[in-house]
């Protein structure tokens, strides 16, 4: 079961039998969420989104090792919280599946997770003393300063920066106590939600928050949201998550239909 040497896309033997099948709607949402994250520029060939299994909270669903924009329903694999696949049947899996398992274990309220390297988050993650902070009403979930996960603390100063073990996954998951987004130094970010739709929404708007913060901080002192504003924005604005979701689904389908897929 252990990951060998330098293999990043790994073959792992299936651990257990799969239990009840997830709802087909969940799989369908997870597939289109992969496409949306690609279309919206949150992921390129790298990055991934998972969902907690709706029939078994100790399992989660994640695509096999592939580019998110190309994921189809039969690419979705079920995993235990230890990151062991139950129905991979030899297909390669993401090395960083431990991000997902360990966060689902630590945060029972989390139902979906996006890990990405979006364009404005990476530069923010490497500036000393800088923290992502909620700058506009769409991103209240960012809160009063997202933690920056420094992998050197848990893995030493010669890692590949990847969350390639349960040990590293646990260290990252601890940062999610009281936070819904964590930056990863020189790597990207991970964001959680109570549904696939909310996690996708948050991944898109976390990138925008980072972009606006990069621009604003070059010009002077910034007024960020207060704690009360952040909280009220989460309650009210994220209640609108269906609106962008519908738009993004329509766009994802139109693009894939236009390109003959």
Using CB under 8 A as the binding rule, the residues of this chain from 60 to 79 that contact a copy of itself are 65-67, 69-70
CA–CA distance, 116 with 82 (Å, rounded to integer):
21
Q: Give the H/E segment covering residue 26.
A: helix 24-39
| Continuous segment of H or E residues that includes residue 91 | none
* Closer residue to a copy of itself in complex, CB, 173/252: 252
Asked if 127 touches a copy of itself (CB under 8 A), the answer is: yes
**Considering only residues 12-41, where is the footprint of a copy of itself by CB under 8 A?**
none
- The whole-angstrom separation of Cα 161 and Cα 156 is 10
57/227 with CB nearer a copy of itself:
227
- Residue 27 or 43: the one with the smaller Cβ distance to a copy of itself is 43
Task: For the segment 178-207, give every residue that binds a copy of itself (CB under 8 A).
Answer: 185-188
Please list, residue by residue across 195-204, b when 16 or more beta carbons sit within 10 angstroms of its beta carbon and e when fewer do.
Answer: bbbbbbbbbb
Stretch that binds a copy of itself, among 48-56, 121-129, 167-175, 189-197 (CB under 8 A): 121-129
Comparing CB distances to a copy of itself, the nearer of 15 and 161 is 161
* Site pattern 203..232 for a copy of itself (x: CB under 8 A): -----x--xxxxxxxxxxxxxxxx-xx-xx
Alpha carbons 145 and 140: distance in angstroms, whole number: 11
Determine the interface stretch with a copy of itself among 48-56, 73-81, 99-107, 127-135 (rule: CB under 8 A). Answer: 127-135
Q: Which stretch binds a copy of itself (CB under 8 A): 44-52, 75-83, 101-109, 166-174?
A: 44-52
Site for a copy of itself in 74-103 (CB under 8 A): 95
Closest CA to 234 of 132, 114, 133, 139: 139
Do residues 72 and 84 touch, judged by C-beta distance below 8 A? no
Whole-angstrom Cα distance, residue 137 to residue 233? 6
**If binding is defined by CB under 8 A, does position 2 make contact with a copy of itself?**
no
Cβ–Cβ < 8 Å for 180, 191: yes
Contact 93, 64 (CB under 8 A): yes
User: Residue 96 catalytic?
Assistant: yes
Catalytic residue among 4, 11, 78, 96: 96
| Contacts of a copy of itself in 141-170 (CB under 8 A) | 157-162, 164
Query: Would residue 83 be called left, alpha or beta, if left means φ above 0 and alpha means ψ between -120 and 50 degrees?
Result: left
**Which of 9, 16, 21, 73 is in the footprint of a copy of itself by CB under 8 A?**
9
């Amino acid at each position: 079961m252990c990951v060998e040497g330098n293999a990043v896309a790994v073959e792992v033997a299936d651990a257990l039998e799969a239990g009840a099948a997830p709802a087909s709607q969940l799989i369908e949402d997870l597939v289109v969420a992969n496409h949306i994250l690609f279309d919206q520029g949150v992921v390129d060939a790298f990055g991934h989104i998972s969902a907690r299994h709706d029939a078994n909270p100790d399992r989660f669903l994640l695509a096999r090792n592939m580019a998110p924009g190309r994921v189809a329903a039969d690419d979705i694999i079920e995993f235990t919280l230890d990151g062991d696949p139950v129905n991979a049947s030899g297909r390669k899996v993401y090395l960083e599946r431990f991000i997902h398992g360990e966060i689902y274990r630590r945060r029972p309220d989390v139902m979906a997770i996006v890990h990405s390297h979006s364009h404005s988050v990476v530069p923010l993650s490497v500036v000393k003393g800088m923290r992502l902070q909620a700058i506009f009403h769409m991103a209240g979930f960012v809160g009063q300063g997202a933690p920056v996960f420094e992998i050197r603390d848990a893995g030493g100063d010669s890692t590949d920066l990847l969350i390639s073990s349960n040990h590293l996954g646990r260290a990252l998951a601890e940062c999610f106590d009281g936070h819904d987004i964590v930056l990863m130094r020189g790597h990207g970010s991970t964001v959680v939600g109570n549904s696939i739709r909310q996690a996708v929404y948050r991944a898109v708007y976390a990138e925008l928050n980072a972009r606006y913060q990069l621009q604003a901080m070059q010009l002077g002192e910034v007024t960020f949201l207060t704690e009360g504003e952040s909280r009220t924005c989460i309650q009210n604005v994220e209640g609108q998550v269906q609106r962008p979701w519908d738009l993004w689904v329509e766009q994802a389908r139109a693009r894939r239909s236009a390109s003959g897929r």
